[in-house]
Amino acid sequence: MKADPENNQERDQLTGDEIMHGHEYDGIQELNNKLPRWWLGLFYITIIIGVIYILRFHVLKTAPLQEEEYLTEMAAFEQTPSEEAPAPSSSSSGDEATVTGTRLTDAASLEGGKTVYDKNCAVCHLAQGQGLVGPNLTDAYWIHGGSFEDIVKVINTGVIEKGMIAWKDMLSVTDIQQVASFIMSLQGTNPPNPKAQEGTLFNPGS
Ligand code: HEC
């Protein structure tokens, strides 16, 4: 440590940097080091950018903020017609509102429902509805309700996390109406080797 002859500052012997008094800890002196020029340069640039940013985005408001930008992009996206996923047309998609319909009981519709069932559902619910991966569809116990509407709804939306597919984009409105009617016609058929009951007893009257 030696006194600086010019401004009477004490300076570190090794580096020549100014010693800061009152900043000595356990014999270690803190020095008032000069910041490197490149570092200071960057620091001033960030201040300038900050000022420009505030003026542009918050004072003059000549540029959109994140949220506004997001909303414009979403609006633009929603307007672009997508080729892969065409907007569901009311006649062919199993939109819940249009599918509900009523239970069909005529032989032709049930036959149609059976065809849809054999092709798409029997792998999991078995040919006679006795149940395998999926629950038994012939007993009065239902996980999601046993009314026609309940059945149509579960076919439409599926129970993806349990392995039941949402069929509304794969089957037509008529297919779903027929297959749901077919499933209702299986009630009480007592097929051999049924899967144990799941869900709760459904009472059509309630
Ligand atoms: C990949 C296997 C699989 C296929 C294929 C499948 N299901 Fe299912 N299904 C399931 C499973 C698993 C459940 C039980 C969901 C749960 O536990 O919530 C289920 C549940 C159901 C239920 C509700 C049963 C209840 O107790 O509430 C109905 C109705 C149903 N399926 C109808 C169908 C129809 C109609 C088809 C064909 C269009 C079909 N399923 C095809 C696996 C399948």
Q: What integer pLDDT is reported at residue 7 of this predicted model?
A: 55
For residue 89, the model assigns a pLDDT of 46
Q: What's the pLDDT at 138?
A: 95
* Count of C-beta atoms within a 10 Å radius of residue 92: 14
> If 0-12 CB within 10 Å is exposed, 13-18 middle and 19+ buried, where does residue 197 land?
middle
pLDDT confidence of residue 190? 93
CA distance 120 to 194: 19
Mutational pocket test of ligand 1: of 126, 164, 171, the residue with most ligand atoms within 8 Å of the beta carbon: 164
Burial class (CB in 10 A: 0-12, 13-18, 19+), 94: buried
| pLDDT for residue 29 | 79
Alpha carbons 195 and 189: distance in angstroms, whole number = 13
Q: What tokens were used for 93?
A: 């998609």
Question: Could you tell me if the CB of 186 is within 6 A of ligand 1?
Answer: no
Positions in the chain short of pLDDT 70: 1-9, 82-100, 205-206
Atom of ligand 1 nearest to the CA of 179: 35
